[in-house]
Chain A
Amino acid sequence: MTKPITLGAVLYDPKVSVIWEIICDFFDQNGVPVDPVFFTNYERQVDTLIAGSIDVAWNSPLAWLDTQRRSSNEFRAVAMRDTDRDRTSCFVVRKGSGIERLADLRGKTVAMGAADSPQATLIPIEVLRRAGLAAGSDYQVQRFDVLVGKHGDHIGGERDAFQALAGGKAEASTMLDLNWQTWTADGTINADEFTVVASTGTFDHCVFALRRDFPQDVVERWTAALLSMSYDNPKHREMMDMEGLKAWVPGRTSGFELLTSAVEHQRFFGRTS
């Protein structure tokens, strides 16, 4: 029997395990057995990946940078979701607030997500820095640390941040573009009352991280199986809808410039807490 590939994934909710069980069943059926290994946080997952105790990890963008930083670039990004590419984050304000550009946030309070959320905290702070605004002195950050360690995978932080804006406790909030789209569509956000005053540049999100010296033939079989998953196949579609993608695509590392700059300027990996 072929030795199963061990795949690490962080669970921001127990229900996420169902998605990974379906993915692993899919690999089993395609002759590339995969055993999932679940983690409560990305730090433990990256530790385990670098130690070689798992073969591949579904990494958040921050976990990807951490993996490369701690391993001297020993890993490669082999695949990602189509929806992981070219994301943006939105600065949301109340219409009629007088805030029309990022510079207008000077002296204001901006509600953000968890401390380790790339899309709701780290990248927005970086974009404001580039606009000449320093957190803490030029504007105040009101953080919503929901499930720190899971890198903002849980939408709770962004939702709470928006609630702070809606409740008048902040003048702006940050969120991933996909969440803005979803929440204005489902009524969580009233688009007649709130608007996006600015968006960040594009960035990429999650990737499968795999050690460079992993056997190439296994990588090719595994990647070929993953990329063969089709949204037109009803059996695949259920999982793809749950995971929020229409297609798996080859991994790339060109979309992490904003986050790389953010963690450097915010000395994120040098923090003690």
Chain B
Amino acid sequence: MGIGSVDETRWTVRVTAVPQGGVRAHVRKFSFEAGAPLSFDVEHPAVTALEYLLGALGVDIASGIRHLARKRRVEVDDVEVVVHGRLGDPLRFLRAVGAEGDPALEWIEAKVYISSLEDERIVSSLWDEVLAVAPVVNTLRKATRLDLVYQQVL
């Protein structure tokens, strides 16, 4: 008898929006605040949906590297991921009259800095293996232009 079932491969997040404007996502025993779908205001009071999405990509990569490095017994110190995203037509989101472009992210770039004294080939192999199975990376690859680059730093 196996230990898993079809239902166990499905993840659930519950999100509630209250009249006062707050949005909260609940997952397992955790929850987090969220703001607008996206904002052009640097003073926007909460993390937006778009920023969570970009953050999820960064977590997928950074955590994936950390997890696999431990498993492969590869010594990795710090991992840092800087993610940039650009919308096809931001004025579509603002419902500007005449804006007819794509409101989706047309491009996402993640620059990854892996601090390790290991041989370059070992780190490169680790990178390839992480990307091959990273769920967020592979989802976004099907949806938009995704540029991923890494740099090994000593």
Query: Which of B40, B90, B93, B98 is A39 in contact with, Cβ under 8 Å?
Result: B98
Complex alpha-carbon distance, A231 and B91, angstroms? 29
B96 within 8 A of partner (CB): yes
A45 within 8 A of partner (CB): yes
Q: Contacts A15-B40, A18-B41 known; A41 to B98 CB distance under 8 Å? A: yes
A225 within 8 A of partner (CB): no
B29 within 8 A of partner (CB): no
Complex alpha-carbon distance, A41 and B96, angstroms? 9
Complex alpha-carbon distance, A17 and B97, angstroms? 13
A45 touches B97 (CB 8 A): yes
Instruction: Name the interface size band of chain A.
Output: 10 to 19
A-B contacts counted at CB < 8 A amount to 34
What is the distance, in angstroms, from B147's C-beta to the closest C-beta of chain A?
22
A37 within 8 A of partner (CB): yes
A194 within 8 A of partner (CB): no
For chain B, what secondary structure do more than half of its interface residues adopt (helix, strand, loop), or is it mixed?
loop
B68-117 residues with Cβ-Cβ distance < 8 A to A are: 90-91, 93-99
For chain A, what secondary structure do more than half of its interface residues adopt (helix, strand, loop), or is it mixed?
mixed
Query: Which of A14, A15, A37 is B97 in contact with, Cβ under 8 Å?
Result: A37
Complex alpha-carbon distance, A39 and B100, angstroms? 11
A48 within 8 A of partner (CB): yes
A17 touches B99 (CB 8 A): no
B104-135 residues with Cβ-Cβ distance < 8 A to A are: none
Complex alpha-carbon distance, A44 and B41, angstroms? 25
Of B41, B93, B94, the most chain A CB neighbours within 10 A belong to: B94
Complex alpha-carbon distance, A40 and B99, angstroms? 6
B40 touches A18 (CB 8 A): yes
A18 — which chain B residues lie within 8 A by C-beta? 40-41
A40-59 residues with Cβ-Cβ distance < 8 A to B are: 40-41, 44-45, 48
Of A11, A14, A48, the most chain B CB neighbours within 10 A belong to: A14
A14 touches B91 (CB 8 A): yes
Closest to B38 in A: A14
Complex alpha-carbon distance, A37 and B99, angstroms? 12
A39 — which chain B residues lie within 8 A by C-beta? 96-98
What is the distance, in angstroms, from B50's C-beta to the closest C-beta of chain A?
12
Query: Which of A14, A17, A44 is B98 in contact with, Cβ under 8 Å?
Result: A44
Show 5 residue pairs from A and B whose CB-CB distance is below 8 angstroms, ordered by the A residue.
Answer: A14-B91, A15-B41, A21-B41, A39-B98, A40-B98
Interface residues, chain A, with chain B CB atoms under 8 Å away: 11, 14-15, 17-18, 21, 37-41, 44-45, 48
Q: Top 3 A-B pairs ranked by shortest CB distance?
A: A40-B98, A38-B96, A14-B90
